[in-house]
Structure formats: structure tokens, C-alpha cells
Amino acid sequence: MIQILEIETMGLKNNFFKSPWLFSNQIKHINDNELNDQKVSLVHIKGTKKIGIYCKKSLISVRFLPDKIFNHIENNTIKKETFIKAISEHLNTLKREKIKFQFPKEEAFRLSHGDNDGLPAIAIDDYQSVLVIQSSSQAGEFLLPFIIDALKLIDNRPLFERSTGQIRKMEDLPERTRWITESSKENNNYEVNCNFAKLKMNFFLNKAQKTGLFLDQRKNLEYLSRIIKDYDIQSCLDICSYAGAWSATAASSGVNDLTLIDQDSWALNLAKNNILANSNNNVTVEMLHGDMFEHMQRLLKLEKKYDLIIADPPAFAKTKKHVPEAKRAYSRMTKLASKLLSDNGILILCSCSRHIPDHDFLESVCVGLNEGNWVFLHKGEQSPCHTHLANPDSSEYLKCYFLINRKL
């Protein structure tokens, strides 16, 4: 049996919750002697049918679970097997919901987008041949064993965990990269081939970033593939190229002169292979290993120009205190990239920093743009499988601007 403690809210006018969580100053905290060593517990919000995971040490203190689980509570407890079954049913519901987004058949997609999908701090990406799980907080650590058991009830595919990154470090959690399913451990094969955004993509689970690929860029990659043939694009500069999805999209549309910048030499080789796998022509791929700003400055000195430039860096603002510095970095990135762009070329600028709202990113971009008649072709966002809640919070995190310096 799993014990469920009762918790009271503080300072809330009503018990109508739009957010998937409650902050530390919104609840009356539970005494330590009622909690485990990690100070984590399942809780029921007094006077409501809301249950969640309580983490006393976290600023986000309660993260809500699916409401239907409340129906299985008896005498402030829930049977472990009942809890696991309820999670498995919720996972099936998520899969049915996300299939409705009409992704091409057998394409990789995000099954669970953490709190926004009712599974606190747990991301699950479906790469068709393998499911990759990421836990990003203490709440995720509590939930993870139940998630694994729930997935095994409904799916016999291999399970891999990639729980890494800055967010875990902020909660003093160790990084974990491992096979969960025993049969997969014996093979020791980390290579994954999948379809994504109409591309054939390859990566390796033991060396990947995040869960493997940045599936949130799906719709933006598809938009590029739709418009690229309407412009005279011969050359492409892909900044922070990682697995090469942007350049592979360009190559699949006939662009044959591609330059990649990334700090990871392994990722550059991965990107090149993905570009070649998706190209219909003989392509030239130049790989620049190192700092993006240093390479852009060097390219400017060489008077290089590119018809298509994509800048898709990691999040510059890991926390709110990093926002001013991040805005300056986005402006600098934009300034250098815009100077490298050919007349009537396309400039794609991205931010995945959830602490940078759209208006701040736009301001940073505008500060960095050189003189010209800059217009929006498109404002992209995260793929719908990365659930965006209908409330004004950080669930809308990905900004993707398609710009052109129009020559009149």
C-alpha cells in the first residue's frame, strides 16, 4: 500500500487549479517525521479531488497527477498495483490523444511531456524501436519506478533511461544513462534509427543530448521543408547543429553546400551522416568544431555568406537569474548570424529557454538584427506532442523565428 498524506493550500482564493503544480508558498508543509528520507510523498489536496507528489525540498512543492487516480484512493492509501494500472491507463490515453496530431506513420514523438501531461517531471519519447525515459526532479525519481512498471504492462519494447542535464544538478540528483530492460543490456547496442519530421535520423542513446533528438522542432522542420524550394537556397550554415536535423531538411530539399558548427565533435560526425542519409545530391559538408561565437566571427572575417542560417542553441537561461545574460547572448548571436546572411536569405533563430518569454526573445533579436527590412515569414513553436497548456506559464517554451531581410 502507498500512503497518501493530506495537505492544505495557503492564500488561494479557491481550489480551482489551472497550473499543474503548487509552489512552496502556496501550501502548509508536512512535518518531516511523516515523510521519507527524500522528504517526498503522495498527497491529497484537502477539500478537493486533486492528488500529487509532494517534495518538501523543492520550490515546486506539489506536482499534480491525473485526477482519475483519486477514484482509487481508500482510507488515504492506494494499492501499488492499482496505482501502476492507473498510470498505464493514463499512458494509453496519452498515446491515443497524440496519435490524433496526425504525425506520419511510425514517426518518433513525445508520449509524455512531464507535468503538462500529468506525469510530473517524467518525459517519455517514443522512437518506435525503443522508449526513452527522462526524470528531471525528485518528484520524477519518486514516480519513475511506477512509470517503468506501467510501461511494461502495456508495451514490450526496450526501455532506456537518460536522466541527465542541468535541472537534475539543481536538485542534487546524479545523472543516469542506462538500459532498464534486462534483455537490452546484453545486446549493448545503443544505436537508434527512426523517422522524424519526414527525415531518416540516426543517433546513439549513450552519447545523445536530452532523450536523443529534439522532437519539439518537428513542425518547424516541416515548415522549412515546405518553403525552402520557393527561395534560391544554395548554402546553409547550421549553428549548434547537434544531430543535423535542420541541415538534413535543407539537404533533402536540394541544398548541397552545408556548414555545421557544434562544440561536440561526435555530434558533428553524427550530423554529417544524417545529412548524407537524407540528401538526393552530392553534398559538401564542412564541420566546424568549437565555440559558435568564435566561428561566426571567423566566418565574418573570411567574408562568408549563406542563403540559409539556423541558430538553434541550448537554453542560454537555465534559471531566472541568467535572463539578462541570456538576452545579451541572443542579441549577439542574432547580430553575427544576420551579418553572415545573403541578400533575401532566410534566418532561423530559436530559443528553448523557458525563462525567456516570447516578447523578451523578440526584443533580443531586434537588438541584434543589422540594418534592413526584416520581416517574419513564420513564428514557430513546439510540436503539439510537447503539450502546451492553455494558461500563461512556462509550458510554451520554444520560440522559432523565420526571418528574411527583404530587399525592396
Q: Is residue 206 part of a domain?
A: no
Question: Helix or strand or coil: residue 126?
Answer: strand
| Co-location of 356 and 247 in the same domain | yes
Q: How far apart are the first and last CA of the chain?
A: 71
pLDDT recorded at residue 104 = 76
DSSP strands (E only) in 182-327:
191-196, 199-204, 235-239, 257-262, 284-289, 306-311
Check which CATH number belongs to the domain holding 278 and give it: 3.40.50.150
Q: How far apart are CA 163 and CA 242, in angstroms?
A: 19
CA-CA distance, 210 to 254, in Å (whole number)? Answer: 29
Find the farthest-apart pair of alpha carbons in the chain and give their distance in angstroms, rounded.
72
**Is the residue at 247 inside a domain?**
yes
Asked whether residue 204 is assigned to any structural domain, the reply reads no
Q: Are residues 260 and 378 in the same domain?
A: yes
Q: CATH number of the domain at 62, please.
A: 2.30.130
Note the pLDDT of residue 187: 65
Residue 209 lies in a domain: no
Q: Identify whether residues 248 and 283 lie together within a single domain.
A: yes
Both 296 and 377 in a single domain?
yes
Residue 407: per-residue pLDDT? 78
Taking the chain (408 residues) in runs of 10, the rounded mean pLDDT of each run is: 93 76 94 91 93 94 95 94 97 93 85 97 96 96 98 95 88 92 71 95 94 96 95 96 98 96 96 96 95 98 97 86 90 96 95 90 93 91 93 81 89
Q: Give the global pTM.
A: 0.94
Looking at the fold, whether 189 and 272 belong to one and the same domain comes out as no
Of 162, 193, 224, the residue that ends a domain is 193
On whether residue 306 sits in a domain, the answer given is: yes
Does any domain span residue 203?
Answer: no
pLDDT value, residue 316:
86
- Residues 378 and 229 occupy one common structural domain: yes
In the prediction, which pLDDT does 5 show? Answer: 95
Look at the chain and report how many structural domains it folds into: 3
Residues 98 and 48 occupy one common structural domain: no
Where does a domain end: 27, 57, 78?
78
Predicted local confidence at residue 16, as pLDDT? 66
43 part of a folded domain: yes
- Residue 110: give the domain boundaries: 81-193
The β-bridge relationship of strands 2-9 and 40-45 is parallel
Evaluate whether 216 touches 318 at the Cβ level (below 8 Å): no
In a domain, 317, yes or no: yes
Residue 258 shares a structural domain with residue 242: yes
> What is residue 394's predicted lDDT score, i.e. its pLDDT?
62
Instruction: Identify any residues that bridge with 346 across adjacent strands, giving them in sequence order.
Output: 308, 404
108 lies in the same domain as 236: no
Q: Are residues 145 and 20 in the same domain?
A: no
**Within this chain, do residues 117 and 218 fall inside the same structural domain, yes or no?**
no
Residues 85 and 158: their CA atoms lie apart, in Å, by 19
C-alpha cell at 181: 530492460
Please state the separation of Cα 337 from the chain's center in Å.
Answer: 24
Q: Which CATH number covers residue 163?
A: 3.30.750.80
Alpha helices in 100-212 (DSSP H): 138-154, 166-170, 182-187
Domain ends where: 34, 51, 78? 78
**Identity of residue 184:** S
Whether 254 and 383 map to the same domain: the answer is yes
Give the residue from 354, 287, 277 showing the smallest Cα distance to 113: 354
Give the model's pLDDT for residue 81. 97
